[in-house]
Amino acid sequence: MRRYLPILLISFFVLVTIITGSTSLQGYADKQNPEKNIKSINVYTTLPIEQLLILAQEYERTQKVRVNLVPLSEANLLTKIRTEMAAPNADIIIANSALLEQIKKMNVLKPYASEQTDIIPERFKEENNYWTGIWYDPMVFAANRDFLKTLPKVPSKWNDLTQDSKYRIGITDFLAAEASANLFYTLVSTNGESEAFSYLKKLHPQIVQYAKFLATPVRMAGMGEVDIAIATQSETIRYMNDKFPITLLYPEDGTSFVLTGSALVTGAKNETEAKQFMDWLLQDAAHSILYTSSFYLIPTNPETLIYKYYDTKNIKLLDKKETFSIEQKNQLLDKWVTTVRLAPK
């Protein structure tokens, strides 16, 4: 019996090792496949993915719910929604308010109201709760500080930019960015097509560059390559925080703004989780992570701590009087390209 004892002991240890290893591997597999244990929601969005990614990561970390982001162009989003009407894959849509209005007309959104959405001012949400604004970003004048010192009077209105033809202006091409295009549509909607085009034609000779990115005109103003940039507030503040010599000015006669909102999809497979995420987006946790990540977007919720960082009392927002369809937008842009953008200076 003694000569078999070593063999029995070895067999015992091998068996223990196999059982222990199997248990450890199973635990490791569970960690590597959290999909088995974590809830999730699907979000269709037209926003830059980097904006929402930090929010999605923070939400998964703190709330243990995975946010699957599906970035799409406006046209592709509308197409995808049409094809999925019978069996929607999206739980939430996050996009600009004009696009959400178009989607609402497709009868694919479900009204949602809560204690959180009730705090949001009426101008920042759909009247029947089909979508709710989360944050907005106005267009401003980002003026070179040294340039302002040479002026007897600081430009405070849109027409002030064209009063002196020596002013060098920077702006993002209307074809290149949503915020810049939205300014164009707002000018047309507020002032009428004829007057808006007349203004843009007058401004055109002063444009140093129609930039491809929203940040470029602000950088040019900070470097003294233009005197005034027509830019988003978020980019202006970012460069100011980076110590560029820029002064932020709000047009006294009003300015355009891009309002980003969220909407619940009818037939959402994860409706409860989707509603919780929509409420979370309106609260301090979401806006704080955006702010600390250098996304300077004004919360629609006036009770958030970040809201108090912005000078909202001096911002006059222009609401578009009419919502243009994608076809109408394309027609306006084509007209601008042929009569303004490509016109000789």
Q: How many CA atoms lie within 13 A of 15 on its CB side?
A: 6
Q: What is the pLDDT of residue 15?
A: 40
The two three-digit tokens of residue 115, written as one number: 């204690």
Residue 63 pLDDT > 70: yes
Q: How confident is the model at residue 35 (pLDDT cuts 50, 70, 90)?
A: low
Domain with 303 in it: what CATH number? 3.40.190.10
What number of residues does the chain have?
Answer: 345
Mean pLDDT of all residues in 121-142: 97
Residues 89 and 119 in one domain: yes
pLDDT of residue 17: 39
CA distance 184 to 196: 8
Q: Are residues 127 and 145 in the same domain?
A: no
Residue 105 pLDDT exceeds 90: yes
Tokens of 164: 């002196």
Would you call 139 helix, strand, or coil by DSSP? Answer: strand
Q: Which pTM value belongs to this model? A: 0.86
The pairing of strands 228-232 and 169-172 is parallel
SS3 at position 88: coil
184 shares its domain with 168: yes
Say yes or no: 189 and 241 in one domain: yes
pLDDT beyond 50 at 74: yes
Q: Looking at the 3D structure of the chain, how many domains does it have?
A: 2
- Looking at the fold, whether 142 and 132 belong to one and the same domain comes out as no
Is residue 11 in some structural domain?
no
DSSP label at residue 158: G
How far apart, in Å, are the Cα atoms of 108 and each of 35, 44, 94, 166, 266?
28, 13, 14, 51, 5
Instruction: Verify that 148 and 296 share a domain, yes or no.
Output: no
- Asked if residue 5 has pLDDT above 50, the reply is no
Strands 109-110, 246-249: pairing kind = unpaired
Write the DSSP string, 187-235: HHHHH-HHHHHHHHHHHGGGEEEEESSTHHHHHHHHHTSSSEEEEEHHH
Nearest to 142 by CA among 216, 253, 198, 212: 216
User: Do 336 and 304 belong to one domain?
Assistant: no
> CA end-to-end span of the chain, whole Å?
105
Task: Evaluate whether residue 7 is within a structural domain.
Answer: no
pLDDT of residue 345: 75
Confidence band of 3 (pLDDT split at 50, 70, 90): very low
Range of the domain at 99: 38-136+258-311
Examine residue 271 and state whether it is found in any structural domain, yes or no: yes
Q: Indicate if the pLDDT at residue 333 is higher than 90.
A: yes
- Clarify whether residues 102 and 161 are in a common domain: no
Residue 88 lies in a domain: yes
The model's pLDDT over 234-281, given as tens digits with 9 standing for 90+, comes to: 999 999 999 999 999 999 999 999 999 999 999 999 999 999 999 999
Distances 259 to 96, 124, 135, 270 between C-alpha atoms, Å: 6, 7, 6, 25
Residue 32 lies in a domain: no
pLDDT higher for 83 or 323? 83
**Residue 7 pLDDT > 90:** no
pLDDT at res. 189: 94
Contact 214, 171 (CB under 8 A): no
Do 214 and 305 reside in the same domain of the chain? no
Do residues 203 and 265 both lie within one domain?
A: no
- Quote the radius of gyration of the chain (alpha carbons, Å): 26
pLDDT > 60? residue 31: no
Residues 6+ apart with CB under 8 A from 30: 36, 37
Strands (DSSP E) contained in the chain are 39-45, 65-71, 92-96, 109-110, 132-144, 169-172, 207-211, 228-232, 246-249, 257-265, 298-299
pLDDT tens, 180-223?
Answer: 999 999 999 999 999 999 999 999 999 999 999 999 999 999 99
* Any domain includes 30: no
221 and 337 within one domain? yes
Interatomic CA distance for residues 219 and 223, integer angstroms: 6
Predicted confidence at residue 36, as pLDDT, reads 59
With respect to residue 226, please indicate whether it lies within any of the assigned structural domains.
yes
Better pLDDT: 326 or 48:
48
| Domain match, 222 and 289 both | no
Higher per-residue pLDDT: 138 or 10: 138
Residue 295 lies in a domain: yes
- Tokens at 110, concatenated: 């479900």
